Structure 1
Amino acid sequence: MRKIAGAIGLGLTLSAGCLVAAVTASAEPAQPRSLYAPSALVLTVGQGEDASTAAIQRAVTLSCAPRPSGTHPAAAEACAELSAVDGDFSGLAVTESDNGRACTRDWRPITVTAEGVWDGRRVSYAHTFPNNCVKEGATSLVFAF
């Protein structure tokens, strides 16, 4: 009986040792997978005056580091435009008179948003245009999807 108890005790000791080794291995700090700061965004276009209540019509993902990717149809160009303004979305838009596009003055608001991370910094951007014509004429490729 003593031998059985000793064998059971040894088995429990070995199991506990394996458990400690497994916990120790998983407790090591995570190593970065890339040398690049993350740049990953979710971009939306929605019908409505406010980002929190707009009915989302389209949404895409855009990742720019280490290479352009995502569901955005022109990921490389959009990443290049964002890089040119250091991720400052307000630097992408121009006024209606700057682009020479003639749009009606009807009020059918379109709101664009960007949420995520740019070069390791949290990004949250929203802008409302009076209608789709103004949006199409005033934005870069970043919100052209």
Structure 2
Amino acid sequence: MRNTARWAATLGLTATAVCGPLAGAALATPSSAPASLYAPSALVLTVGHGESAAAATPERAVTLGCAPTSSGTHPAPALACAELRAAGGDFDALTVKRDVLCTKEYNPVVVTAAGVWQGKRVSYERTFANTCVKDAAMSSVFAF
């Protein structure tokens, strides 16, 4: 009996949390303007040492917002947003610096990006042999 009461309370609270905001939208007048004309673009970027995001502890993390203006804790948000827009939001298509020479030292660095890019959910992870290789491959997006 106690389990049934807990489940009923949990489902009731979940329904209220999910459907509550929708009830206010139904009461909005037709003349209400949308909150924004831009699809959301907000990311959390991390860098850490390790072979995968699961095995690595993030050493640095920044936020990057790109719509309607560049913002966040990223040191160069305008440049990072411009590079992501040019790549169509594809992290693998970011510009690679060709004139960089890196050592063959193996000290893996993993980068991650999670959030929303132009209204679509983004989850990205990539491991590089070392910091030099990461910096040569990822332009300014993961330069923090």
Q: Shorter chain as normaliser: what TM range?
A: 0.7 to 0.9
Number of aligned residue pairs: give it: 118
Match of 2:49 in 1: 47
Match of 2:17 in 1: none
Q: Hey, what's the Cα distance between the residues in 2 that align with 1:77 and 1:85?
A: 12
Q: Deviations for 1:11-49, whole angstroms, at most 9, x for unmatched residues?
A: xxxxxxxxxxxxx9x822187421110000000001001
Match of 2:101 in 1: 102
Pairwise CA distance, 1:54 = 1.1
Q: Aligned to 1:38, what secondary structure does the other structure show? A: coil
Match of 2:114 in 1: 115
Question: What is the aligned-residue identity percentage?
Answer: 61
Show the 5 A alignment for 1:18-29.
27-29=23-25
Q: Hey, what's the Cα distance between the residues in 1 that align with 2:95 and 2:86?
A: 13
Structure 1 regions of 5+ residues with no counterpart?
1-23
Match of 2:68 in 1: 66
Of the two, which has the highest radius of gyration? 1
Could you state the TM-score of these two structures normalised by the residue count of structure 2? 0.76
Q: Aligned to 2:111, what secondary structure does the other structure show? A: strand
Q: Aligned to 2:141, what secondary structure does the other structure show? A: helix
Q: Aligned to 1:62, what secondary structure does the other structure show? A: strand
Q: Hey, what's the Cα distance between the residues in 2 that align with 1:56 and 1:103?
A: 23
- What's the Cα RMSD here? 1.9
User: Could you list the runs of 4 or more consecutive aligned residues of structure 1 that deviate by over 4 angstroms after TM superposition?
Assistant: none
